[in-house]
């Protein structure tokens, strides 16, 4: 994927899956926690909807916090938090 960084310039960007990242670090680290972030929330370019429906998005955010560590929420989205511990 090419990311636009300004003035028409782009740089190559690679988004590893949680499993790929865990595999690449597995020799020296154990995965302690994996949590999806924003699994059911809209992308930031739809933030105007949050302003119009604050109660709905507040509920969705709370639900997102609860389901973030449950499969398939750990891989359904572009963002995740992975906590690694050195072996």
pLDDT in tens, 4-51: 898 989 999 988 888 999 999 999 999 999 988 888 887 778 778 888
Q: What is the three-class DSSP state of 1?
A: coil
Q: Measure the CA–CA gap between 63 and 52, rounded to whole angstroms.
A: 19
Confidence check: pLDDT of 63 > 80: yes
Instruction: Using a cut of 0.75, tell me whether the model's pTM lies above it.
Output: no
- What distance in Å separates the CA atoms of residue 87 and residue 46, rounded to the nearest whole number? 41
Burial readout 47-79 (b: 16 or more C-beta within 10 A, e: otherwise): eeebeeeeeebeebeeebeebbeeeebbeebee
């Amino acid at each position: 994927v090419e990311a636009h960084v300004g003035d028409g310039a782009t740089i190559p960007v690679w988004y590893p899956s949680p499993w790929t990242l865990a595999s690449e670090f597995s020799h020296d680290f154990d995965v302690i926690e994996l949590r999806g972030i924003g699994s059911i929330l809209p992308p930031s370019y739809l933030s105007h909807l949050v302003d119009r429906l604050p109660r709905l998005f507040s509920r969705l955010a709370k639900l997102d916090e609860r389901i973030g560590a449950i499969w398939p929420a750990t891989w359904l989205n572009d963002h995740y938090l992975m906590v690694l511990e050195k072996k």
